[in-house]
Structure formats: C-alpha cells, structure tokens
Amino acid sequence: ARYSGVIKGYDYDTYNFQARKGQKVHVSISNEGADTYLFGPGISDSVDLSRYSSELDDNGQYTLPASGKYELRVLQTRNEARKNKAKKYSVNIQIK
C-alpha cells in the first residue's frame, strides 16, 4: 500500500496494519530526510526500517516476530526536525 503525507518538526504520521508471525515487511520512502520505525507485538521498543538499518535482511525486509497489529511511524531525522520545516513524503508498505 502506498501513502503520502507531510510531516513537520518533531511530528510523525502513523500507519497501522495487521500481520502474522513470520511475514516480512518491506518499507520504502521517497524522502531521504525521513525515517520509518515499527512498533508492535514482540518488539520491545521499536525497529528502524530505514534503508540501511541493521534490522533488515539482505532484501531490505524485516521478519515480523508475532501476529497482531503493527504501527509504522514516519518521522523526520532529528537533524531535519530541528529545522521545523514541513516535508512531503510517499511511503510504500509491502507485507509478504
């Protein structure tokens, strides 16, 4: 699913989805100044799903640890957020 939005400063947008344990999620985002973090069952804090994250496999996917409802947050990097400017983005979420 593809979504578009605008984030400003330290604000973030959220996207929720249901998934099963063992499924893989792949997230791509159009704005290099934005990060994506995943929250949900089996995740103690959050998982960085940004392009070069060490949490991802060689195909850029993250294997979900449990079945349930997940929340993806799109936010600006701290350096960009300090500037308090609005940034457009487009995010694509694929679950396999």
Q: In which domain, by residue range, is 36 found?
A: 2-95
CATH of the domain at 25: 2.60.120.380
CA dihedral 21, 28, 75, 77 (to 10 degrees): 120
Closest CA to 40 of 5, 7, 64, 10: 64
pLDDT in tens, 56-96: 999 999 999 999 999 999 999 899 999 999 999 999 999 99
Counting the structural domains of the chain, the total is 1
Gap between the Cα atoms of 30 and 49, Å rounded: 14
Residue 43 has pLDDT above 90, yes or no: yes
Q: Which of 15-19, 27-31, 64-68 has the lowest mean pLDDT?
A: 27-31
Q: Quick one: pLDDT band at residue 10, thresholds 50, 70, 90?
A: very high
Specify the length of the chain in residues.
96
What is the per-residue pLDDT for 33?
82
Report the pLDDT value the prediction gives residue 44, as an integer from 0 to 100.
94
